[in-house]
Amino acid sequence: MEMKSIISFLFLLQTIINVVNLSVAKVQPENNIYKCRNTGNYTTANYEKNLMSALDGVANNIAAHKGFYHSSSGAKELVNAFGLCPGYITPDNCALCVRNSIILLRSNCQKQKEGVTWISTCMVRYSDRKILGVLDDWVWVHLPDPRTVARVREMDQALFKLATRLQAQVAGGSSLQKFAYGQLKYAPDSIANNTLYAAMQCTPDLSKLLCTKCLLSIMLTVTACCSGKVSAAMLSPNCYLRYDHDKFDKNPVT
């Protein structure tokens, strides 16, 4: 076996192991999602001050930075935070979503040193540890639509094909944005609503290798999560997949 093939096999095996070990939350799509990491609580007003400063930095600057911004605050009790928005919403809507996310996060992760939230079309995360350039997909959120399409096998095949194409585009993106959006028809043209629309994204601080690894976690579990579902999202602190049978490239942030 060639060395390249061995490396690819080991990489895939490690990804499968990582997926098995993930903490997976299954929730309904209409919910605003948050997760407070069980790594300890902060106890000082200084940490609280640094946390708010870091989150404010994200909210105030993300609109001017292609939907991704990292902010840190504090020499002692350092806090890192970032926000991520997809490429299909406006900068103003991105900033609004981030501000709403911060409110949700602060209301529910009141003392935890780490937390992440997904609300509407954006993500906000904070931590007392390094988060830039680090793949730390410690939680996955699966949001399958309860509805199922008529042609499950054809849709699953089309989704895998589309996601594979988008994965390569995302991983090959720049340090400013790793995002791709596309569509694919499946089944006969006479079948109504037979076009899939999908978006994939990594936080752009990830290397091509780490982004690929995060997206492979999606590829390996998307069928178990969402086979035949009309729409779904699979979210982690570093990457996500969202698909639907209706266009969502111009959805407003609410």
Domain limits of the chain?
A: 33-132, 142-244
pLDDT, residue 188, reads: 79
- Give the mean model confidence (pLDDT) for residues 195-219: 96
User: Is it the case that residue 190 has pLDDT exceeding 70?
Assistant: no
Fold that domain 142-244 belongs to in CATH? Killer Toxin P4; Chain A (3.30.430)
Q: Where are the beta strands (DSSP E) in 186-244?
A: 195-202, 232-235, 239-244
Residue 31, pLDDT score? 57
SS3 at position 92: helix
Q: What is the pTM of this model?
A: 0.85
Beta bridge partners of 244: 197
pLDDT band at 209 (very low <50, low <70, confident <90, very high): very high
CA distance 254 to 239: 21
- The residue-averaged pLDDT of 133-142 equals 94
**Residue 145 above 90 pLDDT?**
yes
Strands of 178-185's sheet in order across: 23-26, 139-144, 232-235, 239-244, 195-202, 178-185
**How many angstroms separate the CA atoms of 123 and 86, rounded?**
9
Conformational region of residue 106, where left means phi above 0, alpha means psi within -120 to 50, and beta covers everything else: alpha
Distance CA 115, CA 46 (A): 18
The chain-wide mean pLDDT, for the chain, equals 87
Same fold yes or no, 33-132 and 142-244: yes
Cα(189)–Cα(160) distance, rounded to whole angstroms? 19
Burial class (CB in 10 A: 0-12, 13-18, 19+), 62: buried
Q: Give the pLDDT band of residue 146 (cuts 50, 70, 90).
A: very high
Burial class (CB in 10 A: 0-12, 13-18, 19+), 182: middle
Q: State what percent of residues in the chain have pLDDT above 90.
A: 78
Query: What tokens appear for 13 in the block?
Result: 């095996």
* For residues 146-162, average pLDDT: 95
CATH number (3.30.450.20, 3.20.20.210, 3.30.430.20, 3.40.50.1820) of 33-132 reads 3.30.430.20
